[in-house]
Structure 1
Amino acid sequence: MNRIDVLFNRLRSEGRRALMPFITAGDPDLPTTAALITELVARGAHMVEVGIPYSDPIADGPVIAESYHRALTKGIKLSHIFQTIRTLRAETATGTLTVAPLVTMVSYSIIHKQGVDRYLRDAVTAGIDGLIVPDLPVEESESLCRKATAFDLRLIQLITPTTPRTRAVQIARSTTGFVYYVSVAGITGERKSIPPELAENVAWLRTQTDLPICIGFGISSADHVKELAPVADGLIVGSAIVRRLADAENRHRTEIVKEIGDFVAELTNGLKT
């Protein structure tokens, strides 16, 4: 059974929520990426979203876009990323990382260039559990969803506050794993407050799907996590983590990993209060 499904089945039975940090693969380097994945799960993250660097990111703000640029200028390639994750899964054959899902945020251009079947096969053999493809319209997602399911991968799709409700229902019905609900219209980035209509929008979406609903974009503090925990099945934190990585790029890996781990531990505490 797919690790994403197992995770949310367990958390729902326990009345708990998931924390899903985002990191860019290869920023500042792949050994740090591997160390971070291990540390984040050890510090309470339930799932990790790994951004596949792309030269023309679709929905990402400047913090994540710049992290993609840093990784690409160092020559990071998809095969390197999958090998890093494959090695990490093999080296952690026991413990919490074994059961923690890993999800890639990836442009469809990369999947198409690699070849859909090859991408999915390489992803699943590396130990990936799902993919988020922000530039793939729902009208064109049926084939990818069907093939991903055949590989026991989940295709997670995004719904935004400006998505018409009829289209939101269509997206939810063509999604597997969980629904990624974008908290605000626009690009990724840290924000000071959460839109007041968010809870109402998510409550409506729950009447349309039985899938878990995870909220992302703009969540950047333990207070945000605490505020949204009653609303969501999972919370995704990206730019706040990637910014800390950028600020610490000239420091020793051990120090960087601990600092990010401390921040994620702080976020997970927001789930408990």
Structure 2
Amino acid sequence: MTAGEGAPLARAFGSDPALVAFVTAGDPSPADMPAILEALVEGGADVIELGMPFTDPMADGPAIQAANLRSLGAGTKTADIFNIAQRFTAQHKRTPLVLMGYANPMLRRGPEWFAERCAAARVSGVICVDLPPEEDDSLGPALRAAGVATIRLATPTTDAARLPAV
């Protein structure tokens, strides 16, 4: 991360463990999100991952797949996700919000468009579960240019040679 990029995340983790809570944006409806996010903060969440609903969430299990379908069924759109994020970050400056989702919706309008919306909504970071670092020649650079952290996932099977890339 560059100076300033990911600063809220660095503060949240510090030297102590952090409670990271996940919720799918728009589940059960976009209107319910402020109360749900507030409950997560009141419950002690140090970081909130806001899942971007997607029609084919291949890396998710049945519970998150069902949440994605409920959210999409409620009419959640990308604009709603950014509105939810912006409203939350305006009220909770010390609780980082991370968007988590898939490359298709993130890249649909172009990586710069997505990164600019993330920055405008004061999103601290983005996890794109199906975009490995070896194939990320556009989203990661656009997010970095906008001051938004790119967060990679490491698994128990990630080998030592690949770990620095994630």
State the TM-score, normalizing by the size of structure 2.
Answer: 0.89
Change over 3 Å in CA distance of 1:169–1:112 after alignment to 2: same
Q: Counterpart of 2:28?
A: 28
Equivalences for 1:62-101 in 2 at 5 Å? Answer: 62-90=62-90, 92=91, 97-101=92-96
Larger radius of gyration: 1
Letter in 2 for 1:103: V
Percent of aligned pairs with the same amino acid = 33
How many residue pairs get matched? 163
Superposed CA deviations along residues 157-192 of structure 1, whole A, max 9, x for unmatched, are 111122233122332xxxxxxxxxxxxxxxxxxxxx
- 2:10 & 2:58 partners in 1: Cα distance? 28
Partner Cα separation in structure 1 for residue 150 and residue 83 of structure 2: 21
2:122 maps to which residue? 127
Match of 1:5 in 2: 7
Seen in structure 2, the aligned counterparts of structure 1 residues 7 and 131 have a Cα distance that, compared at 3 Å, is closer
Distance 1:18 1:158 in 2: 16
What whole-Å deviation, never above 9, does each CA across 1:174-225 have from its counterpart, x for those lacking one? xxxxxxxxxxxxxxxxxxxxxxxxxxxxxxxxxxxxxxxxxxxxxxxxxxxx
Q: 2: CA distance between counterparts of 1:11 and 1:49?
A: 14
Amino acid of the structure 1 residue aligned with 2:86: R
Partner amino acid for 2:10? F
Q: Which amino acid is 1:38 matched to?
A: E
Is 2:23 aligned against 1:18? no
The answer to whether the 8 Å contact 1:105/1:133 transfers is: yes
Instruction: Name stretches of at least 5 consecutive residues in structure 1 with no aligned partner.
Output: 172-273
The amino acid that maps onto 1:111 is M
Say yes or no: does 1:159 pair with 2:141: no
- RMSD of Structure 2 on Structure 1 (CA): 1.7
Task: Decide whether the 8 Å contact of 2:12 with 2:95 is kept in 1.
Answer: no
Secondary structure of 2:161's match? helix
Amino acid of the residue matched to residue 82 of structure 1?
F
Shift of 1:51: 0.3
Q: Deviations over 1:14-45 (max 9, x none)?
A: x4211010000000111222212122112211
| 2:143 paired residue number | 148
> Following the alignment from structure 2 to structure 1, what is the Cα–Cα distance between the partners of residues 114 and 12?
29
| C-alpha distance in structure 2 between counterparts of 1:66 and 1:162, whole Å | 27
Q: Counterparts in 2 of 1:230-249, with a 5 A limit?
A: none
Checking the alignment, whether the CA contact within 8 Å between 2:55 and 2:69 is kept in structure 1 is yes
CA distance in 1, matches of 2:45, 2:61: 23
User: What is the CA deviation profile of residues 129-157 of structure 1, one whole-angstrom value per residue up to 9, with x for unaligned ones?
Assistant: 11000100221124322221111100001
Q: Is contact 1:34–1:85 with CA below 8 Å preserved after alignment?
A: no
Alignment partner, residue 60 of structure 1: 60
Query: How much has 1:124 moved relative to structure 2?
Result: 1.3
CA distance in 2, matches of 1:102, 1:88: 8
Unaligned 5+ segments in structure 2 are none
